[in-house]
Structure 1
Amino acid sequence: MIDFWLPAGLMLLVALAFLAIPALRGRKVQAEEDRTALNVSLYQERQAELQAQHAAGTLSLEQLEAGRAEAARELLADTEGAEIRRESRLGRWAPLSAALLVPLCALGLYLHWGASGKVELAREMREAPRSLEEMTARLERAVELQPDSAEGWYFLGRSYMAQERPADAAKAYERAVGLAGRQPELLGQWAQARYFAAGKRFDESVKVLTDEALRGDPQEATSLGLLGIAGFESGDYRQAIDYWQRLLAVLPEGDQSRAAIQGGIERAREQLGARGEPTEVPAVASAGPVLKAHVELAAALKDKVEPGDSVFVFVRAASGPPMPLAAKRMTVADLPAEVSLSDADAMMPQLKMSQFPQVQLVARISRQGDATRGEWIGRSPTLSNQTQEPLNLIIDGPDAK
């Protein structure tokens, strides 16, 4: 806390100086006022003495007037240069008392309503936590001090999940969604926490969240994994394989979870074989149309975007449901990029690009990571879903939606 209290102490000394200097100057002013009052009193006594001598006949009228004039000149000489001061005085102790009470009151108010807790928390956050419990405690303090921080609630939810506290995690993710909006990644994490909080039961509330997450981002990994689990548990092994294959397609090659997902796919195939059904589930787009595009950013917009801004490239029906039929997600840093879209990139298995002969290709930049709205957009003309030639798709205009 020394980095806070040192500048605070210096500022306090400056404030005390502003209050103490007038108090010290006030002593000089008081002395000047006392001296002036004494001179006036002596002048009045001299006037009375001259008047008494004139009444006794020792001074003539001319001598009386000359004496009065001489006394007036002496008074004027004694008081010359003295300024007219305040009519009322605070006294010696009032400014000094204020010099002490004001900073003490300010300190008390700061400790009651101020940000000392945030300063202390920032100091703690610079040090590595010694345990997961300590990290969770810090995050709990952080959201208590900053309840409007979506990032704080998100990381608190992840910390709760690491501690196997899914019910608490679900509440934290719900707060994060309420603050940051219904972003696909947050919805997927929220759905996962609900799934574990319900005893690994894929209920309707979890399905609603995963469906919404995939509408926003067809490659949202947590939702794909959960839907694969739901398919396996319900006996729909083909659905499980489909979702898990899509998940494998978006996971990095070095991801440690790839082995577990591949193992789940193999177990689903074994179940299909036990039923006497074909064990191979081909990729959804093996016999469907494929649209290819070269996606780039207009030169005029390069200074208006950030490398980490999300880029959604998707296909939607020219006449039909407004939701994307197939989509991929990247960032501005990936542009320019070659993109291929097919039924394998479908957001929902029952809604495929191959079902709509006329489609449109769209690329949207969204700083918030929302596929449904953004800042900049590029659109192709209406085209056939059987188009073979690669398209040149340029993001060049504001998103009016």
Structure 2
Amino acid sequence: MIDFWMAAGLLLLVALSFLLIPVLRGRRAQSEEDRTALNVALYQERIAELQAQQEEGVLSAAQLDGGRAEAARELLADTEGSSAERVSRLGKPWPVLAAILVPVLALGLYLHFGASDKVELAREFSQPPGSLAQMTERLERAVKAQPDSAESAYFLARTYMAQDRPADAARMFERAAKLAGRQPELLGQWAQALYFAGNKAWSPQIQGIAEEALKLNPREVTSLGLMGINAFESQHFDQAVSYWTRLLAVLPPNDPSREALEGGIKRAGDKLVQNGGKLETTQPMAVPGARMKVRVALSASVQDKVQPGDSVFVFARAVSGPPAPLAVKRITVADLPLEVELSDADAMMPQLKLSNFAEVQLVARVSRAGQPTAGEWVGRSQPLPSSVTATQALTIDRPDQ
């Protein structure tokens, strides 16, 4: 921010110069006027002396005329080059007062209407954080500077969860859900944060949020897992098997949580049989994972504005859902044009996969700083079904704003 304030200070000096230069010129003109008045007074005094000497008989009429002419020449020589008297209608105090008020008023207006906090955040986010605590502090400031941003609230909530601060995370997930329109994935994570914030005690609020999420999306993974846990803890083992079996069906084959989930289903099934219940042996229907093929290229107008080593992030995000990318691939400008495939295996989080959303938007962003959230050039597609099989063409053709 030092360079910003230096630039602002230089601009203020330029503005003040237009006010102070006339004042300094006015002072110089005043000194010239005072000197002229003194010369005139001396001239008049000299003429009076000559007349007195002539009356006393010391000077003749011819000598008197010669003395007057000499005094006039001296007066003319002394006043030559002085400008005409200037008259200010504003008065002398006004320019000085304006010179004081202009920077004070400008600073006050900028602090009230300006975006110095956002400028500073943009500069900080261009550099990788040194620690999780530093990232948290940046995100907290981002949420304060952008109170209507669901994305900022969501990422701050995820950071709180990583720091084992579920109560703070629940508050941010609630905020993100309200801003984004109560999307089922956000509701599921909100319910999960509340569950951990309450020391894993179930509550009517958690029940209502999880049920709302599953009503909007029956395959919402976080809510399915939570409902299965609650059913198992309350000894409704048949319901636990049902919820966890549905969850197992939507997880990709290589998901690391499948083994633990299968173990939970087996334990719930054994408990059910021990209590005299009957375990359904039907296997869940396999749910194919979404796969989207994207051919990424640069437009002719952008090719000479990028460098071969610039990062290119290709990702899909939900049209109606959380702002976080669902699947991401990273390449470089030197690789373009290139065809990439986005699938559930590229998900950043298990609960956010392509197959969980009906419509997505494809985005390709060039970022010289290597930041996926901000760059110099971008290309975006129209909303597409996540089940589309045809290769999609995506051209990077516009400035990233």
TM-score (norm 1): 0.56
Which letter maps to 1:237?
F
Supply the distance in 2 between the matched residues of 1:116 and 1:229 (Cα, whole angstroms). Answer: 47
Decide whether aligned partners of structure 1 residues 152 and 311 sit closer, same or farther in structure 2, where only a CA change above 3 A counts. Answer: closer
- Kindly indicate whether the alpha-carbon contact (under 8 Å) linking 1:228 and 1:241 is maintained by their aligned counterparts in 2: yes
Supply the distance in 1 between the matched residues of 2:132 and 2:81 (Cα, whole angstroms). Answer: 79
1:205 maps to which residue?
205
Which letter maps to 1:250?
V
Decide whether aligned partners of structure 1 residues 153 and 251 sit closer, same or farther in structure 2, where only a CA change above 3 A counts. Answer: same
Decide whether aligned partners of structure 1 residues 132 and 7 sit closer, same or farther in structure 2, where only a CA change above 3 A counts. Answer: closer
SS of the residue corresponding to residue 219 of structure 1 reads coil
SS of the residue corresponding to residue 243 of structure 2 reads helix
- Kindly indicate whether the alpha-carbon contact (under 8 Å) linking 2:249 and 2:284 is maintained by their aligned counterparts in 1: no
2:374 maps to which residue?
none
- Kindly indicate whether the alpha-carbon contact (under 8 Å) linking 1:311 and 1:332 is maintained by their aligned counterparts in 2: no
1:329 is aligned, of 337, 353, 358, to 358
1:191 deviation in Å?
A: 0.6
SS of the residue corresponding to residue 190 of structure 1 reads helix
1:13 maps to which residue?
10
SS of the residue corresponding to residue 331 of structure 1 reads strand
Percent identity between matched residues is 51
Supply the distance in 2 between the matched residues of 1:15 and 1:234 (Cα, whole angstroms). Answer: 70
Supply the distance in 2 between the matched residues of 1:284 and 1:37 (Cα, whole angstroms). Answer: 108
Query: How big is each residue's C-alpha offset from its partner over 1:302-340, in whole Å with a ceiling of 9 and x where there is no partner?
Result: xxxx9645379xxxxxxxxxxxxxx9624255846769x
1:310 is aligned, of 313, 319, 323, to 319
1:89 is aligned, of 89, 92, 96, to 92
SS of the residue corresponding to residue 358 of structure 2 reads strand
1:277 maps to which residue?
278
Decide whether aligned partners of structure 1 residues 117 and 332 sit closer, same or farther in structure 2, where only a CA change above 3 A counts. Answer: closer
Residue 33, structure 1, aligned to residue 28, structure 2: no
Decide whether aligned partners of structure 1 residues 192 and 149 sit closer, same or farther in structure 2, where only a CA change above 3 A counts. Answer: same
Decide whether aligned partners of structure 1 residues 255 and 26 sit closer, same or farther in structure 2, where only a CA change above 3 A counts. Answer: farther
Supply the distance in 2 between the matched residues of 1:109 and 1:15 (Cα, whole angstroms). Answer: 14
Runs of 5+ unmatched residues, structure 2: 287-314, 322-355, 363-382, 389-401
1:124 deviation in Å?
A: 4.1
1:378 maps to which residue?
none
Runs of 5+ unmatched residues, structure 1: 286-305, 313-326, 340-401
Supply the distance in 1 between the matched residues of 2:36 and 2:242 (Cα, whole angstroms). Answer: 102
1:235 maps to which residue?
235
Which letter maps to 2:13?
L
- Kindly indicate whether the alpha-carbon contact (under 8 Å) linking 2:360 and 2:386 is maintained by their aligned counterparts in 1: no
Residue 259, structure 1, aligned to residue 273, structure 2: no
Query: How many aligned residue pairs are there?
Result: 294
Supply the distance in 1 between the matched residues of 2:158 and 2:241 (Cα, whole angstroms). Answer: 27
Alignment RMSD (CA, Å): 4.9
- Equivalent runs, 1:354-373 vs 2, <5 Å: none
1:198 deviation in Å?
A: 2.1
1:206 deviation in Å?
A: 0.6
1:26 deviation in Å?
A: 3.7
Query: How big is each residue's C-alpha offset from its partner over 1:253-306, in whole Å with a ceiling of 9 and x where there is no partner?
Result: 332222222222222222233335134145489xxxxxxxxxxxxxxxxxxxx9
Which letter maps to 2:193?
A
Supply the distance in 1 between the matched residues of 2:182 and 2:117 (Cα, whole angstroms). Answer: 30
1:44 deviation in Å?
A: 6.2
SS of the residue corresponding to residue 277 of structure 1 reads coil
SS of the residue corresponding to residue 252 of structure 1 reads coil
Supply the distance in 2 between the matched residues of 1:153 and 1:335 (Cα, whole angstroms). Answer: 26
Which letter maps to 1:233?
E
TM-score (norm 2): 0.56
Decide whether aligned partners of structure 1 residues 224 and 44 sit closer, same or farther in structure 2, where only a CA change above 3 A counts. Answer: farther
1:300 maps to which residue?
none
- Kindly indicate whether the alpha-carbon contact (under 8 Å) linking 1:270 and 1:279 is maintained by their aligned counterparts in 2: no
Supply the distance in 2 between the matched residues of 1:184 and 1:48 (Cα, whole angstroms). Answer: 105
Supply the distance in 1 between the matched residues of 2:357 and 2:146 (Cα, whole angstroms). Answer: 35
- Kindly indicate whether the alpha-carbon contact (under 8 Å) linking 2:29 and 2:85 is maintained by their aligned counterparts in 1: no
